[in-house]
Chains A and B, each alone.
Chain A
Amino acid sequence: MRYILRRMAALLATMLLVSLLAFIAFDLISGDAATAMLGTEATEESLAALRAELGLDRPLPVRYGEWLAGFFTGDLGTSQNYHQPVWELLAPKVGVTLRLSLLSFLLITAVSIPMGLWSAGRTRGEGLRTGLNQLCMAVPPFFTGILLSWVFGIILKWFTPGQLPDRAADPAGAFRYLLFAAAAIALPRVAMTVRMLRGVVNDEMRKDYVRTAISRGNDRAGVLRRHVLKNALAPVVTFLAQTMAEIVAGSIVVEQVFAIPGLGRMLVTSISNRDYPVVQAIVVILAFWVVLAGTAADLINARIDPRLRLEDGA
């Protein structure tokens, strides 16, 4: 319990730090929004009036506090480009990105764990498998995405590239479309997870307790399942949490390839438009997602391996 509280406190502290940095950085560069909105012809009085209206005349800590509160009240300011509240703009996109990320995560877990376990301890064709593994790691998600759209979209016509079907009207079509995008994100990460799992299990299989168990007459598969798996699990859980971060990165690019209207695509558009209130909000949301995955991994590991709870985890 104390461990959980400590992890939660660390999560909170990290998020405060991240949001503070994001706020200050974008506050410094975005300059004076009032001047930007009124142009150079504006008089001093109208500028001052607009600043007061936008709340820009108040000190930085106050504005930071209000912005932070906005994540809970839904008031994150107004997009300079779309002239629409940021929250209204982002709310429908959060779900899309979330679905894409989760789908990709499930795909990675479901494919790579059995493959990694199968591959561990087998030496036949190892050279070939190493080569194949390295090759898969080398394919960037956006290239996989383009290849998938070409093969399955243009040649086989399983979906129309660039058109995410409406989820209400065609749920199966929308799911299939997202599945291809998720696969593009997953491919290099599956290769990495297999490689990592294989290494961990092989290291573990060389240990004394495994030799003892086998010398007592247990078969390899049984030892793997009953003894090795639990010891090998902790690094894998940590690795999968890092995978969540990579998925976020991958979704930024793959949303562009498949024209999926999610947070990543919005982020890219907003950076090009220098629409800082939107960029600020998306960065904090994505960062929260990444930090949350890390905390979840720590908590899961603490359940698997009680020794970890005793360490000074900050």
Chain B
Amino acid sequence: MNRTDREKSAKKAKKEKNSCLTAGLILTGILAALILLGFFWTPHDPNAMAAGPKFAPPSLRHLLGTDNFGRDIFSRVLQGAGATASIALTTLAIGAGGGILLGALTGYFGGLADEILTRVGDVLTAFPSILLALVVISILGPGNRLNVMLSLGLVFIPSFARVTRTAFAALRDVNYVKSARLMGAGSGRILAVHILPNTAPVLLPALTIGFNNAVLAEASMSFLGIGVTPPDASLGYMLSEAQGMLLAAPWYAGATGLVIVLLVFGVGLIGEGLRRDEKGVL
């Protein structure tokens, strides 16, 4: 590869990174707007029986048709997406909050606690998060929204701690941190003001991945009937409901699943865009 070639491909990657990020932001923006709308207004009451005929195919009156009780599927999907997104965000807040705090402290201070926690984290991250979450929720008690968020949040802590720990440990002894220390800055200030902003290129993509994992894990748990249960049904529970009506109303399962896919796809594109931004050329 000669020089101009390399420049060309660097330019190309740059352009493509932008399109990744842009596409992701647009898609996620549209979905977020719809979800926000769903909190205040839905075309029909999502739980009203007989809002229309049973198993009506998609039409102008019922954009995504109706289910076995004549409930409007579009309204239900809007509401379910809201439940899914808010659970995922809460889970992310618990997991990322705990993980970043733990990772920052262990990465910056090191020592025996760091050694032990890192080993424990290595063992825990080897297991699939859904398996761990199932263990935690069977201890806390299944079928409760708070327990779902708590169990998933706890399970996501080790992976965030691991990413954060590496980033903080790498910046522990760089010159600007040393000089801040010499100027008498306290540890808390160094961690929050001097190091944390510089770990953003690593942490931001990790947050998008975390969000997606949270959406998928919650959807799986609710699909299995151990997660969120009615009345505040999430997309996962609705999909398990829709599976039973696959013969009569395939659009129900299709629409519900598609919303999960688009949500994860959009945020995934944002993450990929951010990651390329950091790396430059892929």
Contact = CB atoms under 8 A, between A and B. Distances in A.
Most A C-beta atoms less than 10 A away, residue of B134, B225, B265:
B134
Interface of B: 9, 12, 16, 19-20, 23, 123, 126-131, 134-135, 137-139, 142, 212, 216, 219-220, 223-226, 236, 239-240, 242-243, 246-247, 250, 253-254, 257, 260-265, 268-269, 272, 282
**Size bin of chain A's contact surface:** 35 or more
Given A127-B19, A146-B253, A271-B226, A286 B131 contact: yes
Given A130-B272, A245-B128, A199 B282 contact: yes
30 contacts: A126-B16, A134-B265, A135-B261, A137-B264, A138-B265, A139-B261, A140-B257, A140-B264, A142-B239, A143-B239, A143-B260, A147-B254, A149-B243, A150-B250, A150-B253, A199-B282, A245-B126, A246-B128, A249-B220, A256-B223, A256-B240, A268-B134, A268-B224, A268-B226, A272-B226, A276-B138, A279-B135, A279-B138, A283-B135, A286-B131
A260 B112 CA distance: 46
Q: Which 4 A-B pairs have the closest CB atoms?
A: A249-B128, A143-B257, A138-B264, A138-B265
Contacts of A130: 16, 20, 272
A274 interface: yes
A287 B265 contact: no
B144 to A, nearest CB: 13
Most A C-beta atoms less than 10 A away, residue of B123, B138, B262:
B138
Contacts of B236: 142
A287 B224 contact: no
A92 B69 CA distance: 39
B26 to A, nearest CB: 13
B265 A253 contact: no
Interface stretch (A22-30, A32-40, A78-86, A229-237): A22-30
A257 interface: yes
Contacts of B254: 147
Interface in A261-285: 267-268, 271-272, 274, 276, 279, 283
Given A134-B269, A135-B261, A140-B257, 5 more contacts: A135-B265, A248-B128, A249-B128, A283-B131, A291-B126
Contacts of B250: 150, 154
A217 interface: no
A140 B220 contact: yes
Contact of B138 (A17, A138, A271, A286): A271
Interface of A: 14, 17-18, 22, 25-26, 29, 123, 126-127, 130-131, 134-135, 137-140, 142-143, 146-147, 149-150, 154, 161, 199, 202, 242, 245-246, 248-249, 252-253, 256-257, 267-268, 271-272, 274, 276, 279, 283, 286-287, 290-291, 294
Contacts of A127: 16, 19
Name A's interface SS: helix
A271 B142 contact: yes
A118 to B, nearest CB: 17
Contacts of B246: 146, 149-150, 154, 161
A268 B225 contact: yes
Contacts of A150: 246, 250, 253
A164 B231 CA distance: 32
Nearest to B243: A146
Most A C-beta atoms less than 10 A away, residue of B12, B263, B264:
B264
Contact of A202 (B130, B135, B220, B282): B282
Contacts of B225: 268, 272
Given A150-B246, A290-B127, A22 B135 contact: yes
Nearest to A14: B123
B14 to A, nearest CB: 12
B138 A252 contact: no
A138 B253 CA distance: 16
Given A25-B135, A154-B247, A271-B138, A123 B126 contact: no
A150 B246 CA distance: 7
